[in-house]
Amino acid sequence: MANVSWKGVYPAMLTPFNSDESVDFDGYKRNLQAQLDAGVDGIIIGGSLGEASSLSNEEKRDMLFFSKELVPADFPVIVNIAEQTTRAAVQLAQDSEKNGADGLMLLPPMRYYADSRETLAYFKAVAGATSLPIMIYNNPVDYKIMVTLDMFEELRSFENIRAVKESTRDVSNVTRMINRFGDRYKILCGVDTLAMESLCMGADGWVAGLVDAFPKETVAIYRLVKAGRIEEALKIYRWFLPVLELDIHPKLVQYIKLAASHTGIGSAHVRAPRLAVEGEELQAVTNIIKKALAVRPTLPDYLNLKKKEDAAWV
């Protein structure tokens, strides 16, 4: 089992489909290889961008098996858990551990608007049922449940709860977490349009979306920031921002898949009830992507950077 550092860039992987809505494993392999070549630090499968709500548990299992066959032995594969019942979440966590997952990303209960006591009970039940390291996904904007600092205080005794995907849309929350907990929880930004800001405030990593279409640019920004080369990172980030804004739209899956099709590492096929975008919407998103591609920046040798605070890149 790979050790999960919860540092660096972790793509929220797309699930490519064929035109008949079956999983396109060849397409997935192509995108995963692009991520590995770009230098990402782990992957997350079966998340929102992976269209988890439309995947069967068998398909999620097959994606895990397939991923583990393709990645190096020490490369983390994280499985997302987004279930409606505590029992189902516990079962998926245990099955994922048995099937070779290296860690879990854990959302609050789906569909039911759980209060703080219920949400904590849910998190604790899953954490107590597995030895896998866990990243809590804190996204009150999309999932309506805020994991507060006091809730993280109560989760502190669960040693396998190691990290948070910070998607509150409040960059100050990075500082609040650090002020309260020090390095107890690793912090990974989960909102593409706030990524550089969060990294500059001390976030440890980036759970990225547009990395599925632009892996090298994403990793370059992360590594440049961590090397203290802020101006170089900012130049890339400013170029990237109009595309990154596709990540904060309700149709982020369709938009990011469209972007990946334009960069040659994906296709636009989605699984119903999602439908491919068309008409003026398609033209507007395509224009954003093509405009970025027309002035795609030349990247420095970001894979061989040194961290500002370390003697060597780790």
Domain range annotation of the chain = 8-233
Residue by residue, DSSP assigns 100-156 as T--EEEEPPPSSS---HHHHHHHHHHHHHT--S-EEEEE-HHHHS----HHHHHHHT
User: Is 181 within 8 Å of 3 (Cβ atoms)?
Assistant: no
Helix (H, G, I), strand (E, B) or coil at 80: strand
What is d(CA 145, CA 153) in angstroms, rounded to the nearest whole number? Answer: 16
pLDDT at 68: 98
pLDDT at 313: 43
pLDDT at 235: 98
Which tokens sit at 203?
A: 């976030």
Number of alpha helices (DSSP H) and beta strands (DSSP E) in the chain? 12, 8
Which tokens sit at 111?
A: 């569909």
Residue found by looking up tokens 């050790």 in the block: 3
pLDDT digit string, tens, across residues 107-142:
999 888 999 999 999 999 999 999 999 999 999 998
The mean pLDDT value of the chain amounts to: 96
Give mean pLDDT, residues 173-185.
98
User: Is 103 within 8 Å of 88 (Cβ atoms)?
Assistant: no
pLDDT at 307: 58
- In which band, very low, low, confident or very high, does the pLDDT at 311 lie, cut at 50, 70 and 90? very low
State the pairing for strand pair 205-208/8-11.
parallel
Write 138-142 long-range contacts (CB < 8 A, 24+). 138/164, 138/165, 138/166, 138/167, 138/168, 138/190, 139/107, 139/165, 139/167, 139/168, 139/190, 140/168, 141/167, 141/168, 141/169, 142/48, 142/167
pLDDT at 104: 98
In the chain, % helix, strand, coil (3-state, to 5) comes to: 50, 10, 40
**8-233 placed in CATH 3.60.10.10:** no
What is d(CA 29, CA 17) in angstroms, rounded to the nearest whole number? Answer: 12
Q: Given a cut of 70, is residue 310 above it in pLDDT?
A: no
- What percent of the chain stands above pLDDT 70? 97
pLDDT at 308: 57
Give the Cβ contact number of residue 65 at 10 Å. Answer: 12
The closest of 101, 13, 102, 91 to 52, measured between CA atoms, is 13
pLDDT digit string, tens, across residues 60-94:
999 999 999 999 999 999 999 999 999 999 999 99
The closest of 200, 245, 252, 248 to 222, measured between CA atoms, is 200
pLDDT digit string, tens, across residues 276-308:
999 999 999 999 999 999 999 999 999 998 755
Give mean pLDDT, residues 225-233.
98
- In which band, very low, low, confident or very high, does the pLDDT at 1 lie, cut at 50, 70 and 90? confident
pLDDT digit string, tens, across residues 145-155:
999 999 999 99
pLDDT digit string, tens, across residues 232-276:
999 999 999 999 999 999 999 999 999 999 999 999 999 999 999
